[in-house]
Amino acid sequence: MSATVGAVRIAHTHQLTTAERDAIRGLLDLAFDGDFGDEDWDHCLGGVHALLYDADDVPVAHGSVIMRRVVHRGRSYRVGYVEAVAVRAQERRRGFGDRIMETLEGVIDRAYDFGALSASDAGAALYRSRGWTLWQGRIETAGPDGLVPLPEEEDSTFVRIGGTSGGLVVPPDALLFDWRDGDVI
């Protein structure tokens, strides 16, 4: 049976109750088939969450956007980085992912220089359909031991140009992401 959902709820991490955070984590664990670890969870916190709930106040869909620093052509940009976009398995293909992304894109466009995300094979079609572009340049990070190339991310990193940068970011130069534990991108 399909869920009836209302409006997208927007909340900063600090506005979520412990019960809400637990319910979101449960959704993410299920949606990613157990391949959503503690570091992945940590990556989606500290920013703005977009949520859809069913009539029983159980999360049906989630996504968050957090701030990251990305250096491109010698300039540091504030990037709205999309994390943990998920829809309950039995509710997929009903437009809930689009609603979550529309909300997150609004945050990105008003608050960040541009948007970025790393897409799974299953999720790439959603982002492409919404105008996100696969980055055609290199992907790197500034790790504790220096520059680290991330060639495995070059076929899954998408950007949304527009935000407050006015479209200044163009390939093929590298995007140099800030370092973080776990999956950097």
Residue 182 falls within a domain, yes or no? no
101's CB contacts (< 8 A; 6+ apart) are 63, 82, 85, 126, 127, 130
Residue 4 falls within a domain, yes or no? no
pLDDT surpassing 70 at residue 131: yes
Residue 147 falls within a domain, yes or no? yes
Q: Scan for tokens 């940009």, then name that residue.
A: 77
pLDDT surpassing 60 at residue 38: yes
Confidence of residue 34 (pLDDT cuts 50, 70, 90): confident
Residue 60 and residue 53 in contact, taking contact as beta carbons nearer than 8 Å: yes
pLDDT surpassing 60 at residue 166: no
Residue 51 falls within a domain, yes or no? yes
* Residue of 28 and 164 predicted with greater confidence: 28
CA angle 139, 144, 150 (to 5 degrees): 20
pLDDT tens, residue by residue, 72-95: 988 999 999 999 999 998 889 899
pLDDT score, position 171: 62
Residue 184 falls within a domain, yes or no? no
The arithmetic mean of pLDDT across residues 124-142, rounded, is: 94
pLDDT score, position 169: 58
Residue 124 falls within a domain, yes or no? yes
pLDDT score, position 39: 95
Report d(CA 108, CA 163) in Å as an integer: 6
Output Rg (C-alpha) for the chain, integer angstroms.
16
Residue 22 falls within a domain, yes or no? yes
Report d(CA 62, CA 96) in Å as an integer: 9
- What's the total number of domains in the chain? 1
Structural domain including 13 reads: 9-177
Q: What is the CATH number of the domain that holds 102?
A: 3.40.630.30
pLDDT score, position 122: 86
pLDDT score, position 5: 75
pLDDT score, position 3: 67
Coil/strand/helix, residue 34: coil
Residue 1 falls within a domain, yes or no? no
pLDDT surpassing 70 at residue 13: yes
